[in-house]
Each structure stands twice: as C-alpha cells, then as structure tokens.
C-alpha cells in the first residue's frame, strides 16, 4: 500500500513537471502555469499507472520497497504522460477557439 501511494506521488509530480515543460516549450499548446500543472498531474498519474500495468516490475512491489529502476520508470511514465495530456488538452482548446496549430 505504501509503495502505491509513493508511486502515485512520484507520478503526479513528474506529470506536473512534464506538463509545464511541454507547455513552455510548445507555446501553441500552453495552458498557463496552473493549466499545465493540472493537466500534467492528471496525465502523469494516468501515464504512470498505465506504464505500471504494462510493465509490472515498475510498480515497485517486487521486493516490498522501491528501487532506483522503479522510481526512474515512474518518473519517465509520469513525465511523458503529463506532457502528452497537456498537448492534447492544448490542442482541444485551440480547436475550440478556432485556432490552427
């Protein structure tokens, strides 16, 4: 149970960082600081959970604790998921506003 909560926190933080990085580097999809953080955190949790389901070794429960590989996997999954969802939400926002990317 503890490793699940730790994994979720890692995914949320990594997702928020990934969302902000995507928003700042891709100006057309920027949602603002708060929007990037929220979309990134949601995407990070979703991406990290999906990656943990696909690759069970990243869940960190194998030895009863977290190892470096598990933490790195959660960071990568969360960061990519956060960036991905931020870009998707930014594209939807642009389409609704009538902008083209």
Is the pTM here over 0.75, yes or no? yes
Query: pLDDT per position in the chain (101 positions), as tens?
Result: 677 888 899 999 999 999 999 999 999 999 999 999 999 999 999 988 888 788 877 666 555 556 888 888 889 999 999 999 999 999 999 999 987 65
- Write down the pLDDT at residue 85: 96
Total residues found in the chain within this entry:
101
Q: What is the pLDDT of residues 1-14, one digit of tens each?
A: 677 888 899 999 99
- Write down the pLDDT at residue 27: 92
Given a contact cutoff of 8 angstroms between Cβ atoms, the answer to whether 11 and 44 are in contact is: yes
- Write down the pLDDT at residue 7: 87
CA-CA distance, 41 to 85, in Å (whole number)?
Answer: 9
What ranges do the domains of the chain cover? 2-86
CA-CA distance, 48 to 2, in Å (whole number)?
Answer: 16
């Amino acid at each position: 149970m503890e490793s699940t909560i730790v994994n979720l926190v890692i995914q949320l933080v990594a997702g928020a960082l990934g969302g902000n990085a995507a928003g700042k580097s891709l100006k057309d999809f920027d949602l603002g600081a708060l929007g990037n953080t929220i979309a990134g955190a949601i995407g990070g949790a979703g991406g990290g959970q999906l990656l943990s389901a696909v690759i069970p070794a990243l869940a960190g429960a194998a030895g009863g604790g977290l190892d470096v590989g598990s933490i790195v996997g959660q960071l990568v999954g969360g960061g990519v998921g956060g960036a991905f969802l931020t870009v998707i939400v930014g594209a939807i926002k642009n389409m609704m506003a009538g902008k083209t990317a």
